[in-house]
Chains A and B, each alone.
Chain A
Amino acid sequence: MTTSYSYDVLVLGAGLAGMRAALAAHEQGVSVAMLSKVHPVRSHSNAAQGGINAALTDRGDKWEDHAFDTVKGSDYLGDQDAIAILAEESGQDILSLEHMGVIFNRNEEGRLGTRRFGGQKKARTFFVSDFTGQAMLHVLYEQILKFQLPVFEEWFVTSLVQDDEGRCAGVVAFDIHTSQFAHFKAKAVIIAAGGLGRLFEPSTNAMICTGDGMAIAYRAGAPLMDMEMVQYHPTTLKGKGLLISEAARGEGAYLLNKHGERFMEKYAPNMMELASRDVVSRAEQIEINEGRGIDGCVLLDCRHLGQSFIQDRLRQISEEAKTFANIDLTKDPIPIRPGMHYQMGGIKTDVEGRCWDTADKWSGVQGLFAAGEVACLSLHGGNRLGANSLLDTIVFGRRAGSEAATYTKMLEELHVGDSHLVDDEAMVKELLNQKPTGDSIAKIRMDLGVTMNKNLGVFRDEEGILIAQESLRELRDRWGRVGVQNNSRVFNTSLIQALELGMMLDCAETIILGALTRTESRGAHFRTDYIARDDEDWLKHILINRDSDGTPRITYVPVRITQWTPQARVY
């Protein structure tokens, strides 16, 4: 017999956006549950180190300034109405977090303290040492415990369920502990499943960041938007690509080339190391490519900050440098390089988190919502500012949760059969029964990661993108034949990895296609064969829908520009 659960609102993912959405939906009095492939505090929101932005008016900062920095940071691809909401509502959301218990750093008067971050003219980043994401994540989880919201931990979602009218009506998922499938009925589903960093090798992202949320939405007919906009963070460690927070530069660290020069002088004379991330990453890559790096890296120098300052404000990265690079930040500069970090693109949503257009200008899936890295409003456009991602999860997680709850109140029970469940169970069975081919999930994933990093990294051109497209075809073919050499029903991590790889391959398709289509350079998307930004033709978003026969279809929607006319971007 099939197990089945029923809620008004079901949230996929229990990181910051997911938990914030669940709390907001709960406040509206509807029934809500969360479903996540890991325990909530294991979510990747943990890894956000530096802080969360907000312009607090009572201390002389204007939300318009924060909004403008964000618009400029996005290289004018961000939708200005969404950015205005982000900036305007940020102050209240920071205060709510503080009231919930986040132990934000204080200034001398005992009020909230700030630090500087990249791409912004003012210090408006609130923080908890350099583990702000973790501190927020654990506090939101405390709230989940307080309100006793159900969390299905270590469940894996295989697909979205839709009714006859195409409305989202829940999901099919299985319990990782038993491999038992269940049907989760819901009037609204909020996807808050995070990013897709593992498509790239190396990446700062955790191993769980495999684009599941984007892939299941895409498969169900929702459009993915601006998927070519992949952020490379300027300071990642060589090897596995672990992140060194922007907080280091925010607090005054320098970037040096092998001659000991602060090379950012050449690229961003005013903002120097604190120019936006795409600009700094490109500058570093140029230094490295032109032979002024050291072993494929440049240097991040914190020595002048002093030991006690580093201990207080940069504790986590100082430990990280010691553990993973064997470097004492107080004594030596640390080699770093640009590394894949964040997906600006994602499931197209409106400012209420809806993944369908109430005005019918683009086609999505009714009843589906999204928030956080998985979503694309677009807030971040071509390049996200540091410390805007935490803010995104909190503001738009709350809005999506609230709107989803309102939406379900107007809705009768949805009726769906269990054909999705039968299909997914069969698909898993087939994976488990494949004959060994000598190939492996790990090899295919590694090949995908290397290809993506090589051809869709800081610099791109048509030739490289086409190579990636060709290898994606081969990788898909290999994935179709590989199978899982482990047919355990208890905690089968090979099965999970196989399913995740399937999701990653679908996401890769949209990144490659987006990058090929956008014949200009904007934000993180830099085409060496089209080096200029082209506002005439490309002030628009690329939406990719999957047709019923499986082919991707491209449509465009214009960027929403309200008060900030695009101008040249100089830092």
Chain B
Amino acid sequence: MQTTFRIRRFNPESPSLAAYDQEYILETEPSDTVLDGLIKIRETIDESLTLRCSCRGSICGSCGMRINGQATLACKTKVISMVSEGGTIQIEPMKNMPIIKDLVTDMDGFWKKIREVQPWLQPKGPHPKGEYVASSESMDHLTGVMGCIMCGVCVSDCTVLEVDRQFLGPAALAKAYRFVADPRDGQAKTRLFELNKLGGMWDCTRCMECVEVCPKGVGAMDRIMALRAKGMEKHVPSTCGSRHAEVFEDLIRQKGVLDEPMLALRTFGLRNIPTLMSYIPMMLRAFIRGKVPKTGFFHHAIPGIRDIQRLFHKMRESK
């Protein structure tokens, strides 16, 4: 079938230094992956097309790129799953990292963040004579996150990194989880205190992009949520993030409804005047548009709140 590959190109040696799209018309087989297509272009049409690739089997993590607007591995993506006969497939380099040339990105920043989580096992005390005894479940559980091949796809499409370069990002946080959840590691608490800082586990907005694009099913966001839960269990210093979770739960238990003004007030704290002030214009707008309940600025408990409280009680008990 005939397909047009529209490829975002960038040549650092050209005087203009502007990225541009170039189209290649290609005959592809039904079994061809996007990587096969790109290699065909490189081998038969344009030697200068530059990309990283190696294993062809989604294990080396070299060929992360954006295909029709979403980051993925080119070797894992069939051409026919992306485009129909005569259509155009758009290929761009990964986002949230500098571009070296064409589809090759600079991953130094990616690795710097991986290094920040001290990604090596730090057991307490000397090694045992034999192996560490660990439950089969705990090791099986870790295979899910150890399956990460560090391809950078989640980092490319992370919506937080787009606006906040300081965020550790999904790959580094998932890597951190791999140690926090490893029964052999002795530094879980220290790690969690580190991850509790600005740019760490509380800066994820739970947009799910990393879960959706991950070619290995690592589920980075789910790992970040698990880190938060573990952090709160270990009593990391409270942050807006952890208070938000706690106050959220508390309000529902008290009132059976999400009391947003109270949530903001208690999450940020009464003393955090600048932040609270910054919410005033928004609150005024909400008031003008009739979004403030008639009963007053704050919510009252709903009828039947007892039932909700019983539910809470039951859940606590079953834990």
Contact of A106 among B12, B50, B114, B134 (CB under 8 A): B134
Question: CA separation between A342 and B294, bound complex, in Å?
Answer: 75
**Inter-chain contacts of A103 with B (CB < 8 A):** 139, 142-143, 146, 182
Contact A242:B12 (CB < 8 A) given known A101-B184, A103-B146, A134-B149 = no
**Inter-chain contacts of A442 with B (CB < 8 A):** 42-44
Quick check: is B136 within 8 A (CB to CB) of the other chain?
yes
The answer to whether B100 and A208 touch across the interface, beta carbons within 8 angstroms, is no
**Inter-chain contacts of B140 with A (CB < 8 A):** 105, 312
Q: Distance in Å from the Cβ of A208 to the closest Cβ of chain B?
A: 5
Beta-carbon contacts under 8 Å, B125-169 to A: 127, 130-136, 139-140, 142-143, 146-150
Contact of B13 among A207, A324, A488 (CB under 8 A): A488
**Inter-chain contacts of A231 with B (CB < 8 A):** none
Quick check: is A363 within 8 A (CB to CB) of the other chain?
no
Question: CA separation between A193 and B92, bound complex, in Å?
Answer: 31
Q: Distance in Å from the Cβ of B150 to the closest Cβ of chain A?
A: 5
Question: CA separation between A208 and B136, bound complex, in Å?
Answer: 35
Quick check: is B120 within 8 A (CB to CB) of the other chain?
yes
Residue of B with least CB distance to A440: B43
**Inter-chain contacts of B101 with A (CB < 8 A):** 488, 490-491
The answer to whether B55 and A145 touch across the interface, beta carbons within 8 angstroms, is no
Question: CA separation between A491 and B44, bound complex, in Å?
Answer: 19
Chain B facing A: main interface SS: loop
The answer to whether B44 and A106 touch across the interface, beta carbons within 8 angstroms, is no
Most buried by A among B12, B44, B100, B147: B147
Q: Distance in Å from the Cβ of A490 to the closest Cβ of chain B?
A: 5
The answer to whether A99 and B57 touch across the interface, beta carbons within 8 angstroms, is no
Contact A101:B31 (CB < 8 A) given known A206-B56, A488-B48, A489-B13 = no
**Inter-chain contacts of B11 with A (CB < 8 A):** 488, 490
Quick check: is B121 within 8 A (CB to CB) of the other chain?
yes
The answer to whether A100 and B53 touch across the interface, beta carbons within 8 angstroms, is no
The answer to whether B132 and A206 touch across the interface, beta carbons within 8 angstroms, is no
Question: CA separation between A278 and B149, bound complex, in Å?
Answer: 31
Quick check: is A129 within 8 A (CB to CB) of the other chain?
yes
Question: CA separation between A242 and B76, bound complex, in Å?
Answer: 13
The answer to whether A206 and B133 touch across the interface, beta carbons within 8 angstroms, is no
Quick check: is A108 within 8 A (CB to CB) of the other chain?
yes
Contact of A39 among B107, B131, B135, B148 (CB under 8 A): B107
Residue of A with least CB distance to B150: A41
Quick check: is B59 within 8 A (CB to CB) of the other chain?
yes
The answer to whether A490 and B100 touch across the interface, beta carbons within 8 angstroms, is yes
Contact of A177 among B36, B100, B182 (CB under 8 A): B100
The answer to whether A131 and B147 touch across the interface, beta carbons within 8 angstroms, is yes
Residue of B with least CB distance to A142: B120
Residue of B with least CB distance to A100: B121
Most buried by B among A42, A98, A492: A42
**Inter-chain contacts of A492 with B (CB < 8 A):** 50
Contact A206:B60 (CB < 8 A) given known A323-B76, A491-B100, A493-B50 = yes
Most buried by A among B36, B56, B142, B148: B56
Quick check: is A501 within 8 A (CB to CB) of the other chain?
no
Q: Distance in Å from the Cβ of B128 to the closest Cβ of chain A?
A: 8
Q: Distance in Å from the Cβ of A298 to the closest Cβ of chain B?
A: 20
**Inter-chain contacts of B150 with A (CB < 8 A):** 41, 138
The answer to whether A110 and B136 touch across the interface, beta carbons within 8 angstroms, is yes
Residue of A with least CB distance to B108: A153
Contact of A98 among B43, B48, B55, B132 (CB under 8 A): B132
The answer to whether A135 and B47 touch across the interface, beta carbons within 8 angstroms, is no
Most buried by B among A101, A134, A243: A101
Question: CA separation between A442 and B59, bound complex, in Å?
Answer: 24
The answer to whether A490 and B13 touch across the interface, beta carbons within 8 angstroms, is yes
Quick check: is B61 within 8 A (CB to CB) of the other chain?
yes
Contact A95:B115 (CB < 8 A) given known A42-B62, A128-B143, A240-B56 = no
**Inter-chain contacts of B143 with A (CB < 8 A):** 103, 128-129, 131, 135, 315
Beta-carbon contacts under 8 Å, B72-116 to A: 76, 78, 100-101, 104, 107, 114-115
Interface string of A479-512 (1 = CB under 8 A from B): 0000011101111111000000000000000000
**Inter-chain contacts of A315 with B (CB < 8 A):** 143, 147
Interface string of A94-115 (1 = CB under 8 A from B): 0100111101111111111100
Quick check: is A38 within 8 A (CB to CB) of the other chain?
yes
Quick check: is B54 within 8 A (CB to CB) of the other chain?
yes
**Inter-chain contacts of A41 with B (CB < 8 A):** 60-61, 149-150
Contact A47:B57 (CB < 8 A) given known A103-B139, A128-B146 = yes
Question: CA separation between A99 and B125, bound complex, in Å?
Answer: 12
Q: Distance in Å from the Cβ of A550 to the closest Cβ of chain B?
A: 29
Contact of B55 among A47, A108, A139, A485 (CB under 8 A): A47
Quick check: is A46 within 8 A (CB to CB) of the other chain?
yes
The answer to whether A113 and B136 touch across the interface, beta carbons within 8 angstroms, is yes
**Inter-chain contacts of A39 with B (CB < 8 A):** 107
Beta-carbon contacts under 8 Å, A75-107 to B: 95, 98-101, 103-107
Quick check: is B58 within 8 A (CB to CB) of the other chain?
yes
**Inter-chain contacts of B48 with A (CB < 8 A):** 486, 488, 494
The answer to whether A46 and B146 touch across the interface, beta carbons within 8 angstroms, is no
Quick check: is A239 within 8 A (CB to CB) of the other chain?
yes
Taking Cβ atoms with an 8 Å cutoff, the residues of B that contact A are: 11-13, 31, 36, 42-44, 47-48, 50-62, 76, 78, 100-101, 104, 107, 114-115, 119-121, 123, 127, 130-136, 139-140, 142-143, 146-150, 182, 184
Using A103-B182, A108-B136, A486-B47 as known contacts, list a sample of 18 further A-B pairs with CB atoms less than 8 Å apart, ordered by residue number in A: A38-B60, A41-B149, A44-B54, A46-B60, A104-B139, A106-B139, A107-B136, A110-B135, A134-B59, A134-B147, A143-B120, A145-B119, A146-B120, A207-B53, A240-B56, A242-B56, A488-B48, A491-B104
What are some 12 contacts across the A-B interface (CB < 8 A)? A42-B52, A47-B57, A99-B132, A111-B131, A134-B59, A135-B143, A207-B55, A240-B36, A440-B47, A442-B42, A490-B12, A492-B50
Nearest 4 Cβ contacts at the A-B interface = A101-B121, A442-B43, A142-B120, A146-B120
